[in-house]
Structure 1
Amino acid sequence: MIKKLFQKKWVKLGVLFFASIILLFFCFYGSIYFGFFGKLPTKEELSSLKQAEATQILDKDDHLIGKYYIYDRQPITYEDLPKHLIDALIATEDIRFYEHDGVDNTSLLRVFFKTILLRDKSSGGGSTITLQLAKNLFGRKKYKIFSTVINKLKESFIAKRMEDIYSKKDILTLYFNTVPFPDNTYGIESASQKFFNKPTHKLTLSEAATLIGSLKANHSYNPRLFPERSQLRRDVVLNQMVKYEYIGSTKADQTMNKSIELDYQYFNHDMGLAPYFREAVKKELIKILEKYKKPDSSAYDIYKDGLKIYTTLDSKMQSLAEEAMKEHMQALQKEYETSYGTDSPWKNNKDIITAAVKNLNAYKNLKEQGITETQIEDSLSRKKDIELFKWEGNETTKLSSIDSLQHYLKFLNTGMIAIDPFTGAVKTYLGGIDYRYFKYDHVSQSKRQVGSTFKPFVYTTAIESGMKPCTYFSTKEITYTNLNNWTPKNASVEEDPHLNFTIEKALSNSVNTIAVKVLNEVGIPKVIDMVKKLGITDSLSYEPAMALGTDGIKIKELAGAYASYVNEGKSVRPYYISKIEDKNGNLIASFEPEVSDIPAYSNYTKEVLLEMMKSTVEEGTASRLRTTYKLENDIAGKTGTTQDNKDGWFIGITPNLVTVTWVGNDNYNIGFKTTAMGQGANTALPIFAKLFQRLNQDSSFDMITKSKFEKPSDEVLKDLDCKPEKRDNLFKRIFGKKKKKKKFGKRQ
């Protein structure tokens, strides 16, 4: 009967059809297995898996402050995974993980019958942790047809091979190190650091369940973007853990009654802590690594090789410095804009605006294309949605490129660095007010006129050359006939042709006329030689105006030079990186402080200058540190203000920290409207003051805030023991000239 049945044509066709289907399936299956749709990784290749790893930037206490990466990934070991994290994963993603060989046939049958045939979407998926790992490691490709089937079959082959090679613990470790989490984060350690600011082994049950819950849909269950939705998903994970008896219902209820508390860390290169510092470290790191090779002679890749960069930064102090800067700069910006009112140069000065427009990349690109000025203006005047930086909160509005330019022209910017004066180790680093919108780094790139902060170098040279600190100079103005009748004027002292100051008072009150006269006494060559000994490599003008700080010097170099006043006359070179390790902890390079071998000047000179700069704080141009900000720390310092109030400076010296701060407008054609507002004591000094107010409230900074200057020698105290000022005698007042004319280079 069966024989007769198979003799029927329709039966033969049916059998042939099903045989063909089976043959086609095995051919299809075999084509995937043998690599027709892309080579499958061999067991040997799978046993030596390599994944791109983020390079970590660590502060002085090994706290993570940033990363360089293509994929944000930090591998960890199985021992770093808390049990409740593993339990949450298995309860939610793969309850038979310890039973199957990479492919869960029971789950696949459930998916086939319930999900596909019965359309029951609540029945769950058939993917295992090992299948997901295969997907994470090798991704999926698009094919013209059957993409899903081809990719799933490839993943099943890979999963089975991995189960043959690795233990279940190894597979869990690989999974947790490669699985994608929200915000372009790969691996549990990176996710833990980003969302909760802690290592994986410290994750609480709630935090672990939150991250595991986000695996279902990275964007939809992102706890930063959708906290309520994420919390609901977390509770689903907790209920799954109760269902499979990993935790009790009481513990689950206690956890579900608490909201998710994030401590989000922006490892985005433009955001987070110390972005200017991280960029400066990256630039230096790239140069350093050009000299080193991996064991296989290939070059290091900072985005893939999982290096560890140990830096000198004090992240806690950096955070306080950023707070101080933002508090002051927001208030100063408001005061600055109010002072100009409706007559602001960023709105009404056509020359400034036109020059700034022509400096735009968009303008230059259009110009290179041969487009006319009228067409360029039309193009740059078209409005579009633009996100604008504002201190009170960013906003997106419709503006043209020219409108946006005028908005940013008004902003004051800043640069600040604080270093250990004995080693040059950088403790804080502020390159600007917001790295997202102002990429220019005012610490490492900018060279602004330094104003009166140059004067201590002139007086240092004078004291070292034998001038006594009680030497008197007249405050009166002198016209130098051989310098186009140049007449240095004073901003801080009222014109009095009969008044004489000691050089101590001249420095503490920043008297311009005396600074030039002292320079004339000691000679420009000696001052330039001193400045070079102090580590300042920027070229200086061979002009008398250098005494007033008309030359541009980088903030870093100023800091290194000023360190000499508490470091036995020796300058230092500020540095960021202490050592570099590979991902396995092997040392690649380490770096020692660069301190001058020979003092630039004597200990006597150091003590005199330090006392003179203490006077600046006690009774001179920086006295508001005491009167306004009520700081009682041992502080010496120097303020600085440049011509037309373009730059404001303050350099604060304490026994264990030297801080340099600058404030000004990036467009050098725009200054402060008044000297009262633009002087360094008003623009730059408050950032230092507000930082120290914060440091004083934290006992962990006692080594800085409670440190004391050494008492000067009896010789120095004796030489400084004189009246700070005196007036000309009656004869000189009657017969002396109101204003002298001299040639610079001739003794006064």
Structure 2
Amino acid sequence: MRKNTVLSKEDIKRYSKYFWIFIISCVLFVTLIIVATGFGIFGELPSFRDLENPKSNLASVIFSEDKTELGTYYIQNRSNVRFKDISPNVINALMATEDVRFLDHSGIDFKRTFTIFFYNLIGKKQGASTITQQLALNLFSDEGREKSTLKRIPQKLKELIVAVKLERNYTKEEIITMYLNTVDFGNNSFGIRSAARTYFSTTPAKLDPAESAVLVGILKGTSMYSPTRNPERSLGRRNLILQKMASEDFISDETAQSLKQTPLNLKFNPSSHSEGLATYFRAVLKKDIQQTFKELSITKADGSNYDLDRDGLRIYTTINSKMQRYAEEAQQEYMRTLQNQFNQHWKGRDPFKGNENLIKQGIRRSDRYKALKEEGLSDEEIQKNFETPTKMEIFSWRGNIDTLMKPIDSIKYYKMILRNSLMSMDPKTGEVKAWVGGIDFEHFKYDQVKMGTRQVGSTAKPFTYAVGIDNGYSPCYQVNNVPYTVTGYGEPWTPRGHVAKEGYLTLRQALALSQNYITAWVMQQVGPTAVAALAKRMGITSNVPPYPSIALGSFEASVYDMTGAYSAFVNHGIWTEPTYLLRVEDKNGNVLFERKPKVVVALNPQTAYVMTYMLKGVVEQGTGARLRYRYGVTNPVGGKTGTTNDNSDGWFMAITPQLVTGIWTGCEDRAIHFRSTGLGEGANTALPIFAGFIKKVYADSSLGITKGDFEQPPGGVTITLDCNQYRQSSEGREGGSSSSENLDDRLGF
């Protein structure tokens, strides 16, 4: 029989005493721990200054002239956004899921804490951290939430203290904005701005409720709820969040039910240094900025150097995102066709016969060779490795291809890939609008706009003709188109060439038809020193030796320099340095440096205008005529084709009143090229890309590029451009004779 036990008053008093001792001890212990945490016993707490300036890797953002993000430089792809630029849908989805009483508590939600404590006691694990606490953890812990209970307790206490500090010093809007700017959304996207761009190709301000729910859902587990890796889980999580948003009256039940029936609708745009617009330009720009910081000794307030990958700089460029896209599209569209022509042209033939050293050079320059050398392999072992088939991904115009290939065959394959580069600029301001440094940055990193130089061929001829015009020769002046030897400037020099049209040609016709003999004749009259000096004044930075052969482009130059040089013809003789960087600001908007272009008076305005007239002749009746009859570009456009020895390089320099564009095409090695000029000339390898580009530009009225003619220089033109009038004037000065024989005698033929 069970005996009833009755507690005496003394027992009750004793137990009550023990109970309160326990409670007070717990309170004192917790208080002691909190105080100890506050004094940094368990690790230093962030100061208020640290909270004001949280350490986070902010991506530096590159902006185009039309306020489009061209890309970022980053270790973590993170860029901040202001509260007013975040859609309310994001805020509502976050609060409904993570912290419904966010607007009411002071950093710690005690009601939720005790509720979660109860759930955990009965075996239902729940998180108790508020948004403010999660932000606190993000700000002072790079490693995230500790898994060990012993380590988690002091971390939790720090989290609580920092959360209270945050609530005292920041508004709710600032706290939730900081939170959304610091969280990881997976796929190398840190912060809501990067996430919106990566998953939906939009901005935070334009995110709808469903998109917002997807992104907030990722925060529960960047891998588990990733819409790209686990779309079904992501969809389920999104629908749960939509239901929570409806429960909190952020959206209606009808809206939630409707949105839950829709797919994820991703517009996945992963961030990569090898993807997106202007990849080559961004790589060149980064080196330029780093070099400028070094040259100008620009440092942060604490004396440390700026880091483009971490310091959240804002970089403003002259690139127009639409023109950039049109240029890249034009290149891709035509280079597919040209590569097919090249492949068919060499089908059944060995392009490396007699060029075996190219393969050896390619092997030694490859990353594979360098890696094998570092492993200590002998040359014989390396050669065997290159002869052994292996899995690899190779470039093609149909997309990357996974294949099994001998590494030595991949060397040959890439040697046969045609390369191309393009730059387009405003000739008056010097601002670069489009920059395509190569065909695929992932596989071919070398920039061919500014970093690379190639022989310029006949695109150099206008320099010689410009000096001739400047010395009083008329574009209507006639010269017999026969072989000519230049003497008096070192060894006698006779250029090779073909006669496109026999007999006497005007200088304008000779340039239009790219006739070497008449160009040599002009060089004889003006001398190579004057031509080389003009090329340098017009911005050619590479070596231009004062030899007669520079008339035909025996020297090398970059697309960047050549495009800048041609801009002086359009800009009334004034060379304005091609400029692509306007200014760089720190993350707070303070200007670190600005870039202003150099300006040089390179040429007489009258001469410059005459050269635009002569360059129009190239398109109207010369080597660039297919721009009109094949591609339908009939408005005033000038240009000059260029083809180097053995068809190794194809060029087209194009001028319009508002844009000057330079294009080069060729293989990595000059020894690999088209075997016929019909296919290898600049009119076939470069001009069509300009045609595709400029037609897209003209079709977009928002760009403001018109089809008008070139402006005459101030004061008009005194040089006679009408050759019939010129002939009559010349005959009149000689007594009215109209005899062509007498005219030829007078002109010195």
- Name the TM-score, length of structure 2 as normaliser: 0.87
**Corresponding residue of 2:140:** 138
Distance 1:551 1:28 in 2: 76
Q: Does 1:363 align with 2:366?
A: no
CA separation of 1:162 and 1:528: change in aligned 2, threshold 3 A = same
Matched residues, percent identical? 38
Among 331, 337, 340, which residue is 1:334 paired with? 340
RMSD over aligned CA atoms reads 3.5
Asked if the contact 2:474/2:720 (under 8 Å) is kept, the reply is no
Shift of 1:117: 3.8
**What secondary structure is seen at the aligned counterpart in 2 of 1:705?**
coil
**What secondary structure is seen at the aligned counterpart in 1 of 2:508?**
helix
Among 178, 185, 207, which residue is 2:182 paired with? 178
Distance 1:45 1:66 in 2: 29
**What secondary structure is seen at the aligned counterpart in 1 of 2:435?**
strand
**Corresponding residue of 1:533:** 537
Shift of 1:654: 0.2
Shift of 1:538: 1.5
Among 241, 244, 256, which residue is 1:240 paired with? 244
Among 102, 111, 122, which residue is 2:107 paired with? 102
CA separation of 1:163 and 1:468: change in aligned 2, threshold 3 A = closer
Please say which of residues 20-29 and 566-575 is displaced more in the overlay: 20-29
1:685-725 CA distance string (max 9 Å, x none): 11110011212221113x323232236746422357579xx
Distance 1:4 1:377 in 2: 95
**Corresponding residue of 1:277:** 281
Distance 2:566 2:52 in 1: 56
Please say which of residues 326-335 and 601-610 is displaced more in the overlay: 601-610
AA in 2 matched with 1:236: L
Asked if the contact 2:135/2:178 (under 8 Å) is kept, the reply is yes
AA in 2 matched with 1:465: N
1:623-672 CA distance string (max 9 Å, x none): 11111111122200000000011100001100011000001111222111
Distance 1:594 1:314 in 2: 21
Distance 1:102 1:21 in 2: 22
CA separation of 1:485 and 1:386: change in aligned 2, threshold 3 A = same
Distance 1:610 1:485 in 2: 31
CA separation of 1:370 and 1:305: change in aligned 2, threshold 3 A = closer
Distance 1:381 1:108 in 2: 66
AA in 2 matched with 1:63: T
Q: Does 1:469 align with 2:471?
A: no
CA separation of 1:380 and 1:129: change in aligned 2, threshold 3 A = same
Asked if the contact 1:649/1:685 (under 8 Å) is kept, the reply is yes
**Corresponding residue of 1:673:** 675
Asked if the contact 1:568/1:606 (under 8 Å) is kept, the reply is yes
Please say which of residues 625-634 and 20-29 is displaced more in the overlay: 20-29
- Name the TM-score, length of structure 1 as normaliser: 0.87
Gaps of 5+ in 2: 1-6, 13-19, 728-738, 742-747
**Corresponding residue of 1:637:** 639
CA separation of 1:268 and 1:361: change in aligned 2, threshold 3 A = closer
Please say which of residues 544-553 and 108-117 is displaced more in the overlay: 108-117
Question: 1:397-546 alignment to 2 at 5 Å?
Answer: 397-478=403-484, 487-491=494-498, 493-494=499-500, 499-546=503-550
Distance 1:642 1:293 in 2: 46
Please say which of residues 200-209 and 24-33 is displaced more in the overlay: 24-33
Please say which of residues 433-442 and 714-723 is displaced more in the overlay: 714-723
Asked if the contact 1:454/1:548 (under 8 Å) is kept, the reply is yes
AA in 1 matched with 2:71: G
**Corresponding residue of 1:585:** 589
Question: 1:305-316 alignment to 2 at 5 Å?
Answer: 305-316=311-322
1:43-88 CA distance string (max 9 Å, x none): 5643553433222211112222112222222223333333222111
**Corresponding residue of 2:731:** none
CA separation of 1:317 and 1:214: change in aligned 2, threshold 3 A = same
Among 88, 91, 98, which residue is 2:93 paired with? 88
Asked if the contact 1:47/1:165 (under 8 Å) is kept, the reply is no
**What secondary structure is seen at the aligned counterpart in 2 of 1:443?**
coil
Distance 2:444 2:211 in 1: 35
Q: Does 1:561 align with 2:565?
A: yes
1:164-189 CA distance string (max 9 Å, x none): 44333332122112111122222222
Please say which of residues 708-717 and 176-185 is displaced more in the overlay: 708-717
Asked if the contact 1:107/1:125 (under 8 Å) is kept, the reply is no
Distance 1:406 1:17 in 2: 81
Asked if the contact 1:337/1:344 (under 8 Å) is kept, the reply is no
Question: 1:111-130 alignment to 2 at 5 Å?
Answer: 111-114=116-119, 117-118=122-123, 120=124, 124-130=126-132
Asked if the contact 1:608/1:716 (under 8 Å) is kept, the reply is no
**What secondary structure is seen at the aligned counterpart in 2 of 1:72?**
coil
Distance 2:403 2:139 in 1: 42
Shift of 1:572: 1.6
Shift of 1:616: 0.5
CA separation of 1:220 and 1:434: change in aligned 2, threshold 3 A = farther
Shift of 1:315: 0.6
Asked if the contact 2:188/2:271 (under 8 Å) is kept, the reply is no
Asked if the contact 1:65/1:267 (under 8 Å) is kept, the reply is no
**What secondary structure is seen at the aligned counterpart in 1 of 2:694?**
helix
**Corresponding residue of 2:664:** 662
Distance 1:16 1:42 in 2: 35
Shift of 1:136: 1.8
AA in 2 matched with 1:276: Y
CA separation of 1:22 and 1:107: change in aligned 2, threshold 3 A = closer
CA separation of 1:476 and 1:254: change in aligned 2, threshold 3 A = same
1:453-477 CA distance string (max 9 Å, x none): 0000011111111222233223233
Distance 1:37 1:433 in 2: 55
1:414-435 CA distance string (max 9 Å, x none): 1111011011100000000111
Distance 1:107 1:344 in 2: 76
Aligned length: 714
Asked if the contact 2:480/2:503 (under 8 Å) is kept, the reply is yes
**What secondary structure is seen at the aligned counterpart in 2 of 1:438?**
coil
CA separation of 1:73 and 1:358: change in aligned 2, threshold 3 A = closer
**Corresponding residue of 2:193:** 189
**What secondary structure is seen at the aligned counterpart in 1 of 2:574?**
coil
AA in 2 matched with 1:333: Q
1:108-141 CA distance string (max 9 Å, x none): 45545545643x46xx433321222122222337
Distance 1:520 1:415 in 2: 33
Asked if the contact 1:182/1:218 (under 8 Å) is kept, the reply is yes
Question: 1:225-264 alignment to 2 at 5 Å?
Answer: 229-264=233-268
Asked if the contact 2:486/2:523 (under 8 Å) is kept, the reply is no
**What secondary structure is seen at the aligned counterpart in 2 of 1:659?**
strand
AA in 1 matched with 2:507: I
Shift of 1:211: 1.7
Shift of 1:440: 0.4
**Corresponding residue of 2:745:** none
Please say which of residues 163-172 and 16-25 is displaced more in the overlay: 16-25
Shift of 1:192: 2.4
1:17-64 CA distance string (max 9 Å, x none): 999999999988777565454323245643553433222211112222
Asked if the contact 1:346/1:410 (under 8 Å) is kept, the reply is no
Q: Does 1:705 align with 2:706?
A: yes
CA separation of 1:135 and 1:98: change in aligned 2, threshold 3 A = same
CA separation of 1:252 and 1:388: change in aligned 2, threshold 3 A = same
AA in 1 matched with 2:612: L
Distance 1:179 1:387 in 2: 34
Please say which of residues 635-644 and 703-712 is displaced more in the overlay: 703-712
**What secondary structure is seen at the aligned counterpart in 2 of 1:309?**
strand
CA separation of 1:18 and 1:156: change in aligned 2, threshold 3 A = closer
